[in-house]
Amino acid sequence: MEITRREFVKLTLMTGVAAGLAGCALPPHQLLVSQLDMPEYREPGESVWFATTCQGCSGGCGVSVRVMDGRAKKIEGLPEHPVNHGKVCAKGHSELQALYNPDRLPAALKSNGTSFTTVKDNSEVFKLLAGQLDQAAARKGTMLWITKPLSGTKGALLAYLAEKVGAKIWILDFPGSQAERAAMKSLTGKPELPYNNLLQSDYAVSFGSDFLLQGNSPVHDGWQYGEFRQGKNRHRDQKRGILVTFSPHLNTSTANSDRWIPVAPGTEGWAAIGLGNLISPHKKGEWLQWAKPIPLETISRITGVPEGIYQRLAARLLSARYPVALSGPENGLYTNGVWNTTVIQSLNHLLTGEYSSFNNSDFVLLPGQKGVPADLFLSTKEALQEMKSRKFETIWVFDANPRFLLPAALNFETLFNKAKNKVVFTPFIQETALLADYIVAAQSWLEEWGDRKLDGPFGIDGKRETLYELQQPVCLVPDWGRSISIPDALLSSIKLSSFSKEFPWNSFRDVLKSRYSDKDTWETLIVRGGIWEKYPLSWEMYGGDKTNPLYPPPAVTEKGKVLSGVNPWDYLKKLTFNKKVQPEFSGDKNGFVLLPYPSLALGDGSLANRPWMQELPDPMTTIVWASWIEVPSSLAKQLNLTREDVIQLETDSGMIQGPVYPNPGLHPSCVAVPVGQGHYSYGQYAYNRGFNPLSIVNPMWNEADELAWYSTRVQVKKTNMKQHLTLQDTRMDRLPVQVLTL
Partner 1 sequence: MSYEEKLIRTVIKLIIAGVVLTFLVLWGVQLYLNRIPAQPIYFKHRHHVTEMHISCFYCHTDVAKGSFAGMPSVQDCMQCHQIVNSTDPNLTGKYALNPRELANVAKLISYWKNHKPIHWVKVYKLPQFVHYTHRVHVEFFLQAASKDPKLAALEKKYPASYPCVLCHGNVAEMKVLVPKQGFFWRDLVYGGQTPLITMGHCINCHTEWAGKKFPGGPDVPSLSQMRNCSECHY
* AA identity, residue 566: V
27 touches partner 1 (CB under 8 A)? yes
Select from 8, 9, 38, 588 the one that contacts partner 1 (CB under 8 A). 38
Q: What is the per-residue binding string for partner 1 in 65-94, x denoting contact by CB under 8 A?
A: ---xx-------------------------
Select from 30, 114, 547, 728 the one that contacts partner 1 (CB under 8 A). 30
SS3 of 511-566: HHHHHCCCHHHHHHHHHHCEECCCCHHHHHHCCCCCCCCCCCCCCCEECCEECCCE
Select from 35, 498, 642, 719 the one that contacts partner 1 (CB under 8 A). 35
Taking the least distance from each CB to partner 1, the nearer of 31 and 562 is: 31
| CB neighbour list of residue 510: distance below 8 Å, 6 or more residues apart | none
Taking the least distance from each CB to partner 1, the nearer of 38 and 735 is: 38
Peptide bond into 175 cis (omega under 30): yes
Select from 8, 9, 36, 237 the one that contacts partner 1 (CB under 8 A). 36
Check: CB of residue 452 under 8 Å from CB of residue 60. yes
Specify the stretch interacting with partner 1 by CB under 8 A; choose among 31-39, 212-220, 492-500, 652-660. 31-39
**Residues 660, 644: Cα–Cα separation, whole Å:** 5
102 touches partner 1 (CB under 8 A)? no
Taking the least distance from each CB to partner 1, the nearer of 108 and 593 is: 108
- Among 52, 32, 106, 108, CA closest to 477: 106
Taking the least distance from each CB to partner 1, the nearer of 26 and 739 is: 26
Specify the stretch interacting with partner 1 by CB under 8 A; choose among 27-35, 281-289, 385-393, 645-653. 27-35
121 touches partner 1 (CB under 8 A)? no
Check: CB of residue 179 under 8 Å from CB of residue 330. no
**Residues 556, 522: Cα–Cα separation, whole Å:** 9
**Residues 288, 273: Cα–Cα separation, whole Å:** 8
Residues in the chain: 742
**Residues 604, 242: Cα–Cα separation, whole Å:** 30
46 touches partner 1 (CB under 8 A)? yes
- Residue 49 half-sphere exposure, CB side, CA atoms within 13 Å? 12
Considering the complex, what minimum distance in angstroms separates the CB of residue 47 from partner 1? 9
Considering the complex, what minimum distance in angstroms separates the CB of residue 4 from partner 1? 10
37 touches partner 1 (CB under 8 A)? yes
Considering the complex, what minimum distance in angstroms separates the CB of residue 45 from partner 1? 3
**Residues 140, 143: Cα–Cα separation, whole Å:** 7
Considering the complex, what minimum distance in angstroms separates the CB of residue 477 from partner 1? 11
Considering the complex, what minimum distance in angstroms separates the CB of residue 39 from partner 1? 10
Specify the stretch interacting with partner 1 by CB under 8 A; choose among 40-48, 274-282, 629-637, 647-655. 40-48
Residue 253 parent element (H or E):
helix 252-255
Taking the least distance from each CB to partner 1, the nearer of 13 and 374 is: 13
Check: CB of residue 513 under 8 Å from CB of residue 108. no
29 touches partner 1 (CB under 8 A)? yes
Taking the least distance from each CB to partner 1, the nearer of 66 and 235 is: 66
Considering the complex, what minimum distance in angstroms separates the CB of residue 70 from partner 1? 9
Question: Positive or negative CA dihedral for 448, 454, 458, 460?
Answer: positive
* β-bridge pairing 421-426 and 438-441: parallel
Specify the stretch interacting with partner 1 by CB under 8 A; choose among 1-9, 252-260, 639-647, 720-728. 1-9
Taking the least distance from each CB to partner 1, the nearer of 14 and 541 is: 14
Check: CB of residue 643 under 8 Å from CB of residue 631. no
Taking the least distance from each CB to partner 1, the nearer of 19 and 739 is: 19
Contacts to partner 1 from residues 6-25, by CB under 8 A: 11, 14-15, 17-19, 21-22, 24-25
Give the end-to-end CA distance of the chain in Å, rounded to a whole number.
80
Select from 5, 8, 9, 32 the one that contacts partner 1 (CB under 8 A). 32
5 touches partner 1 (CB under 8 A)? no
Select from 293, 480, 549, 562 the one that contacts partner 1 (CB under 8 A). 480
Taking the least distance from each CB to partner 1, the nearer of 214 and 492 is: 492
Size of the site for partner 1 (CB under 8 A): 34
- Among 178, 202, 201, CA closest to 191: 178
Q: What is the per-residue binding string for partner 1 in 305-334, x denoting contact by CB under 8 A?
A: ------------------------------
Considering the complex, what minimum distance in angstroms separates the CB of residue 496 from partner 1? 23
| CB neighbour list of residue 283: distance below 8 Å, 6 or more residues apart | 318, 350, 351
C-alpha pair distances (Å), 678 with each of 328, 603, 683: 26, 13, 12
**Residues 113, 117: Cα–Cα separation, whole Å:** 10
- Among 368, 492, 375, 423, CA closest to 147: 423
Taking the least distance from each CB to partner 1, the nearer of 20 and 293 is: 20
Check: CB of residue 242 under 8 Å from CB of residue 204. yes
45 touches partner 1 (CB under 8 A)? yes
Gyration radius of the chain's alpha carbons:
27
Taking the least distance from each CB to partner 1, the nearer of 273 and 484 is: 484
40 touches partner 1 (CB under 8 A)? no
Taking the least distance from each CB to partner 1, the nearer of 73 and 717 is: 73
Q: Please state the separation of Cα 722 from the chain's center in Å.
A: 32
Contacts to partner 1 from residues 619-648, by CB under 8 A: none
Considering the complex, what minimum distance in angstroms separates the CB of residue 447 from partner 1? 16
**Residues 435, 441: Cα–Cα separation, whole Å:** 15
* β-bridge pairing 629-631 and 654-662: parallel
Taking the least distance from each CB to partner 1, the nearer of 35 and 238 is: 35
Considering the complex, what minimum distance in angstroms separates the CB of residue 200 from partner 1? 44
Taking the least distance from each CB to partner 1, the nearer of 106 and 367 is: 106
Select from 5, 6, 40, 44 the one that contacts partner 1 (CB under 8 A). 44
Select from 5, 6, 34, 519 the one that contacts partner 1 (CB under 8 A). 34
C-alpha pair distances (Å), 5 with each of 2, 9, 11, 19, 399: 9, 6, 10, 21, 73
Determine how many CB atoms are found less than 10 A away from the CB of residue 4.
Answer: 8
C-alpha pair distances (Å), 397 with each of 148, 431, 432: 9, 12, 8
Considering the complex, what minimum distance in angstroms separates the CB of residue 448 from partner 1? 19
Considering the complex, what minimum distance in angstroms separates the CB of residue 473 from partner 1? 18
For 110, the 3-state DSSP assignment is strand
C-alpha pair distances (Å), 155 with each of 453, 495, 501: 11, 19, 20
Select from 5, 26, 284, 731 the one that contacts partner 1 (CB under 8 A). 26
739 touches partner 1 (CB under 8 A)? no
Contacts to partner 1 from residues 659-688, by CB under 8 A: none
Specify the stretch interacting with partner 1 by CB under 8 A; choose among 41-49, 390-398, 454-462, 588-596. 41-49
Kindly list the residues in this chain that would bind partner 1 in the complex (CB under 8 A). 1-3, 11, 14-15, 17-19, 21-22, 24-38, 43-46, 68-69, 479-480
